[in-house]
Amino acid sequence: MGILEVKDVNKRFGGLQALGDVNLSVTENTCHAIIGPNGAGKSTLLNCLVGKLIPDTGSVMFDGQSVLGRTPHEINQLGISRVFQTPEIFGDLTVMENMMIPCFARRDGAFRLHAIESVGSETELREQAEQMLEDVNMLDKRHMHSASMSRGDKRRLEMAMCLVQNPKLLLLDEPTAGMARADTNNTIDLLKEIKDKRDITIAIIEHDMHVVFSLADRITVLAQGTPLVEDVPEKIKGHPKVQEAYLGESA
Amino acid sequence: MFGLEKKDRSLLILVALLTIFAPFILNPFPEGSAMAQFNAGYPDLMQRFVIFGIFAIGFNILFGLTGYLSFGHAAFLGVGSYAAVWMFKLLSMNVVPAIVLAVVMSGLFALLIGYISLRRSGIYFSILTLAFAQMMFALAYSVLTPITGGETGLQLALDDPRILDGAGASAGNIPVPSLFGLEMRDSADLVLGSWVFTFNIGYYFCAVIMLLAFYLSIRIFRSPFGMMLRAIKSNQQRLNYTGLNPKPYTLAAFVISGMYAGLAGALMASMDPLAGAERMFWTASGEVVLMTILGGAGTLIGPVLGAGMIKYMENIISKINSDILHGWFAFLPDGLEDFVVTIIYPFIGKGWHLTLGLIFMAVVIFLPGGLVEGGQRLAALFRRKKTSTDDGSPAKTEPAE
């Protein structure tokens, strides 16, 4: 039984069957990649996992609880953190403030009216945040205005914000999309480090095969809304069905 | 001290000194001189400075931090005023119960209106709040006349019960609001040469409350709650996916700022115990938006500066008339004098709105951060000049905020 169990999920947008009978099981403490050509339904599937979309039929169980009908912040509180395709950070805030917010969310829950206490006096949370920033080599940037950073740094910060919550499952939506090769390699190294150091399950949606084959323990290939194959990376590489659907006939 | 960081503490102390010495600072010109009409140190206007300061400080907690632009905040000001006057009529002329009821009532109204309006954001939120405020204005003006006094407004009467004050308290005269016997309208004059400085109890009472309100707003700005509000303005999507629910945060900010408005309304009624529906009119809601943007939305001191500036212009510039202009320019040859007066005339008296509009446009275009940004730029300019003149010492660079 995996930590994330997707059973018979269907999602229709008008006449388009975005997801058809998707079954997926992600084992705890592994990195599971979901790949597929454009329009395969990868993002739709991800949005069903985080509460942005509700599937028409089927069930999504995380850690023994159904996520269906829960709002994104409730699902996050269950232990799922999400990294977006384009980094979503608090651009008006400093790097350190960006880090403090998930720390508060983890300690105080979805809402707490702490209007008189001072952020400055939260030593314990600040230490957590600083430790996390050090882990991603960003401690020297902690007073920077986060909007003014490079895209690679924003991505790093976003991951740090997710990781400081100690999520059980980290969802990555094309974390290297639009990145230069050097930045991509940095991100791969960072993710590898995270995988090795922590007890964390990672589900990753990715276009870049280099990233997928460097990180994934298991790969699911999605095509036209249905999973084609699920296997270890070595088997996926040579699988005829995958080559046909994903890489095209010529490959 | 006060649980504030050094910078905020200095700001609080500065504001405290300015409000305490306002009767001196605002009266720089001797009585009877040509410039005396620019003196703003009379009780009525000073009270307005601090009361609208409170209103704008509260509005800034919502608009400055979360970015939600409420266009109906005057409704809470009106609710506060009505509640306070009813307290004067029914219970006592003491201002304390009046203020307490006003803050509670405006908080309840803000809870209801905020709960509904905050289902939408952006322009739809603004329109919803505007609609609520206009509905409340229309109701207060017509069907709710038994409660609000309708067109004439809610006034005190000799035969009001005033349970706590007893029958003898109003012997033939309508009593005035007081704080445990200290009458709000009492003043003491200090005559120094040809200067007259007025110290008014009502003003100092409002000033103390304004300082408390300002202190509370600093605490909110520096609190985790304040940080969440800024995060809402910055990126609601990220906040959602970080496990935080933006709705109760914005609602809490809305209620807090509504209570600030109610407090301001109660103080207005305490200074002059009557309340009219026009206090809830949409122009009054727009005024607090102008104050906040003019001073600098999202800054601590900005709204107070904006409120002061607008109230100063409303009361001082609007008093200049063509005779005064002729007096000023009498030294010019006749034709030229008339010409200059004709040019300036549209900007004064009833034309003060034109002057305000031009200043507002200039601020929004050239100083998007409001008067506070103007101050910061000036300070930076002086700092640069200073460092370039004394070459010997290494230039101190401060990190950008």
Does one domain contain both B279 and B322?
A: no
Q: Which of residues 117-156 of A touch B (CB under 8 A)?
A: 117-120, 122, 143, 145
Q: In this predicted structure, what is the pLDDT of residue B259? A: 97
B338 touches chain A (CB under 8 A): no
Instruction: Determine the straight-line distance between the first and last CA of chain B, rounded to whole angstroms.
Output: 23
Instruction: Compare CB distances from B237 to A88, A105, A165 and report the shortest one's residue.
Output: A88
| Degrees to nearest 5, angle at CA A131 with A126 and A134 | 125
Same domain, B41 and B179: yes
Say yes or no: B380 and B259 in one domain.
no
Q: Closest by alpha carbon to A5, among A58, A82, A55?
A: A58
Q: Are residues A95 and A73 in the same domain?
A: no
A106 contacts B243? CB cut-off 8 A:
yes
Does B306 reside within a domain? no
For residue A106, give the chain B residue with the closest CA: B243
Q: Give the distance from residue A160's alpha carbon to the nearest chain B alpha carbon, in angstroms.
A: 12
Same domain, B371 and B276: no
Chain B contact present for A90, CB below 8 A: yes
* Residue B331 contacts A where some CB pair is shorter than 8 Å: no
Strands (E), B170-294: 178-179, 182-183, 187-192, 195-200, 274-275
Burial A188-199 (b: 16+ CB within 10 A, else e): bebbeebbeeee
Give the whole-angstrom CA distance, residue A211 versus residue A184.
8
In a domain, A11, yes or no: yes
Shortest Cα distance, chain A CAs vs residue B322, angstroms? 48
- Reading the block at residue B199, the tokens are 């110290």
What is the nearest CA distance from A18 to chain B, expressed in angstroms? 23
Distance of alpha carbon A48 from alpha carbon B245, whole angstroms: 19
Mutant choice from B219, B238, B254 vs A, greatest count of A C-beta within 10 A: B238
Task: Kindly state whether residue A125 falls inside one of the protein's structural domains.
Answer: yes
* Per-residue burial over B100-131, b = 16 or more CB atoms within 10 Å of its CB, e = otherwise: ebbbebbbebbbebbeebbeebeeebbebbbe
Residues B183 and B59 in one domain: yes
Nearest-by-Cβ selection for B224 from A93, A106, A114: A114
Q: Do B230 and B238 meet the contact criterion of CB atoms below 8 Å apart?
A: no
Is B275 in contact with B269 (CB distance < 8 Å)?
A: yes
Cα nearest neighbour of A108 on chain B = B244
Q: Would you tell me which residues 254-273 of chain B have a C-beta closer than 8 angstroms to some C-beta of chain A?
A: 256
Given this model, what pLDDT does residue A247 score?
A: 58
Q: Domain total for chain A?
A: 2
Same domain, B140 and B65: yes
A227 lies in some domain: yes
Structural domain includes residue B305: no
Q: What is the pLDDT of residue B392?
A: 42
Which of B295, B327, B354 is a domain's end point? B295
Q: Write out chain B residues lying below 8 Å of A120, CB-based.
A: 5, 222
The token duo for A49 is 């996992």
Q: List beta partners, residue B275.
A: B154
Interchain contact, A117 vs B249, CB within 8 Å: no
Q: Are residues A178 and A73 in the same domain?
A: yes
What's the mean pLDDT when you consider all of chain A? 88
Which residues in chain B are contacts of A165 at CB distance < 8 A?
Answer: 242-243
A86 part of contact set with chain B, CB < 8 Å: no
Chain A's closest residue to B223, CA to CA, is A118
How far apart CA A79 and CA A83 sit, in angstroms, is 13
Tell whether B255 and B345 lie within a shared domain. no
Residue A245 lies in a domain: yes
Distance of CA A209 to the CA centre of its chain: 17
Q: In a structure prediction context, what are the per-residue pLDDT tens digits for chain B, which is 401 residues long?
A: 577 888 899 999 999 999 998 888 888 888 877 777 888 888 889 999 999 999 999 999 999 999 999 999 999 999 999 999 999 988 888 899 999 999 999 999 999 999 999 999 899 999 999 999 999 999 998 889 888 888 888 888 887 787 777 655 556 777 888 888 778 788 888 888 888 888 888 899 999 999 999 999 999 999 999 999 999 999 999 999 999 999 999 999 999 999 999 999 999 999 988 888 889 999 999 999 999 999 999 999 999 999 999 998 888 888 888 888 888 888 888 888 888 888 888 888 888 889 889 999 999 899 988 999 999 999 998 888 766 655 444 434 444 43
Residues B286 and B331 in one domain: no
Question: Which residue from B minimizes the CA distance to A88?
Answer: B238
Judge: A101–B230 Cβ closer than 8 Å, yes or no.
no
Q: Residue B250 domain-assigned?
A: yes
Closest CA to A45 of A16, A10, A13, A96: A10
Q: Does residue B94 belong to any structural domain of this protein?
A: yes
Q: Identify whether residues B266 and B362 lie together within a single domain.
A: no
**Closest Cβ–Cβ partner in B5, B242, B399 for A101:** B242
Minimal-distance CA residue of chain B relative to A89 = B238
Residue B251 lies in a domain: yes
CA–CA distance, B260 with B74 (Å, rounded to integer)? 11
Q: Which domain holds residue B330?
A: 316-390
Which one of B225, B243, B399 has the shortest CB-CB distance to A105?
A: B243
CB count in 10 Å sphere of residue A231: 14
Question: What local confidence, expressed as pLDDT, does residue B397 receive?
Answer: 41
State which of A149, A184, A201 marks the end of a domain.
Answer: A149
The reported pLDDT for the residue numbered B183 is: 81
Nearest to B243 among A77, A118, A120 (CB): A77
Cross-chain CB nearest to B219 (options A91, A116, A165): A116
Q: How far is A211 from B194, CA to CA, in rounded Å?
A: 82
- The structural domain count of chain B equals 2
- Rounded Cα distance, B121 and B246, in Å: 12
Helix B43-66 and helix B282-295, axial crossing angle in degrees, nearest 10 = 80
For residues B210 and B218, what is the distance between their CA atoms, to the nearest angstrom?
12
**What distance in Å separates residue A133's CA from the closest CA in chain B?**
17
Q: Note whether A184 contacts B: Cβ–Cβ < 8 A.
A: no
Partner B, chain A 192-231, Cβ-Cβ below 8 Å: none
Instruction: Determine the distance in angstroms separating the CA of B143 from the nearest CA of chain A, rounded to an integer.
Output: 38
For chain B positions 210-249, those within 8 Å of chain A (CB to CB) are: 219-220, 222-228, 230-231, 233-235, 237-245, 248-249
In a domain, A234, yes or no: yes
Q: Is B354 among the domain residues? A: yes
Instruction: Tell me the nearest-neighbour CA distance from B252 into chain A, angstroms.
Output: 8
User: How many contacts does A have with B, using Cβ atoms within 8 A?
Assistant: 113
In the beta sheet, which residues pair with residue B187?
B200
Query: Do B97 and B189 fall within a single domain?
Result: yes
Question: What average pLDDT does the segment A142-158 reach?
Answer: 89
Whether B281 and B324 map to the same domain: the answer is no
Domain that holds residue A61: 4-79+167-250
Q: Do the domain assignments include residue A160?
A: no
The answer to whether the CB atoms of A118 and B231 lie below 8 A apart is no
Q: Is residue B178 part of a domain?
A: yes
- Residues of B within 8 A of A92 (CB-CB) are 230, 233-234
Q: Is B363 on the interface with A (CB under 8 A)?
A: no
- Distance of alpha carbon A22 from alpha carbon B147, whole angstroms: 63
d(CA B170, CA B176): 9
Residue type at B190?
L
Full-model pTM: 0.90
Distance from CA of A241 to the nearest CA of B (A): 36
Asked if residue A246 and residue A178 are part of one domain, the reply reads yes
Quote the CA–CA distance of A37 and A39 in Å, as a whole number. 6
Q: What is the pLDDT of residues A124-143, one digit of tens each?
A: 999 999 999 998 888 999 89
pLDDT (0 to 100) of residue B171: 64
**B273 assigned to some structural domain:** yes
B5–chain A Cβ distance below 8 A for any pair = yes
What CATH number did the domain enclosing B13 receive?
A: 1.10.3470
Contact B308, B49 (CB under 8 A): yes
- Among residues B240, B260, B295, the one where a domain terminates is B295
ipTM value, please give it.
0.90
**Are A246 and A198 in a shared domain?**
yes
In a domain, A117, yes or no: yes
The answer to whether residue A161 sits within a structural domain is no
CB contact under 8 A, A119 and B224: yes
Do B180 and B217 lie in one domain? The reply is yes
Cα–Cα nearest to B212, from B53, B44, B24, B41: B53
CATH code of residue A66: 3.40.50.300
